[in-house]
Amino acid sequence: MLKNSSILITGGTGSFGHTFVPMTLKKYNPRRLVILSRDEMKQWEMAKLYGDDPRVRFFIGDVRDQNRLERALDGIEYVVHAAATKIVPIAEYNPFECIKTNVLGAMNLIDACIDRKVRRVVALSTDKASSPLNLYGATKLASDKLFVASNSYVGSQDTEFSVVRYGNVMGSRGSVIPFFLSLAESGELPITDPRMTRFMITLQEGVELVWHAFEDMVGGEIYVKKIPSMKVTDIARAVAPDARHKIIGIRPGEKLHEQMIGEEDVPYTYEYDSYYKILPAINNWYTDPKRIKNGRKVPEDFVYRSDTNTEWMERETLRAWIDENRGRIGKI
């Protein structure tokens, strides 16, 4: 589907974009891959990686600016929406700015994609959108709802919108692994709560989930990949086996465990070999065979949370991953 196509990624100079762009260029050889973001320095640095590759284009713009989005989307067939204000404490202290990007920006993109007759749009979500505890999670839940409902909003237009949701991305900038690595030589690592657990997914797995969504979607689905969990204390021991742990207490707006599918989603959730799919409650789309395909209904007591997960990552597995990717961890 993506071969010889025209693709745009919002927030494309972030961690996800730095993985999505080279993987997609290699696998699908798109005709044009446009990277939209508002940081000119990040674009300048990223552009060095691609030299004179005629397939890669850079476009300065902000999802808050609908006119600029409409210009960027000229001739685009597929969109990945990765732009977001996502650092939890910053969102709490700057709530208006978080809402402008995560909610109003989503609305702008939806309108622009419909007006420009984009074929398919996949928006990135987060575990924090499931039963949100902080403003970032609340804005991403609102964004998810907008992208799902927009499949009714398109009218006679063929544009389709879906969402992919995943948890802690291993080694991404600002995440726990590079944070622990930066403190490893001090001999002491801060632990918010020894009971805390997190889902573990690589950026490569996140990209593959987006590719799958583009291939599978009818419109309105939320895709959730099956991934392993780890206790934060085990992550710390994988990074620095001999370091002491200092318990500092859970931070405002932070969850003890990550959740990607809550009990309120159960009536609309189906299981597949490597992922789950939450179907839209509106318009009875959750009963649509074209959306269900070969899915199996999850049990009534189902919840997908990092502490009750059936799959767990071993410390040795994470340690091997760190050794293999040390040069990239926390860089993008």
Q: Tell whether 328 is covered by a domain.
A: no
Q: Tell whether 22 is covered by a domain.
A: yes
- Tell whether the torsion through CA atoms of 70, 74, 76 and 77 is positive or negative: positive
What is the extent of the structural domain holding 96? 6-166+202-225+259-305
Catalytic positions are 128
Domain tally for the chain?
A: 1
Tens digits of residue pLDDT in 94-112: 999 999 999 999 999 999 9
Give the predicted TM-score (pTM) of the model.
Answer: 0.95
Q: Write phi, then psi, for 276 (nearest 5 degrees).
A: -115, 160
Q: What is the pLDDT of residue 167?
A: 82
State the CB neighbour count (10 A cutoff) for residue 159.
Answer: 21
Low-confidence ranges of the chain (pLDDT < 70): 331-332
Q: Tell whether 42 is covered by a domain.
A: yes
Q: What is the pLDDT of residue 253?
A: 78
Q: Tell whether 105 is covered by a domain.
A: yes
Interhelix angle 176-183/232-239, rounded to 10 degrees, is 50
Q: Tell whether 45 is covered by a domain.
A: yes
Distance CA 62, CA 101 (A): 8
Q: What is the pLDDT of residue 332?
A: 63
Q: What is the pLDDT of residue 247?
A: 96
Tokens of 205: 């797995």
Q: Tell whether 319 is covered by a domain.
A: no
Q: Tell whether 188 is covered by a domain.
A: no
Reference 272, options 323, 209, 214, 194; nearest CA is 209
Q: What is the CATH number of the domain that holds 65?
A: 3.40.50.720
Q: What is the pLDDT of residue 252?
A: 77
Q: Tell whether 285 is covered by a domain.
A: yes
Distance of CA 215 to the CA centre of its chain: 17
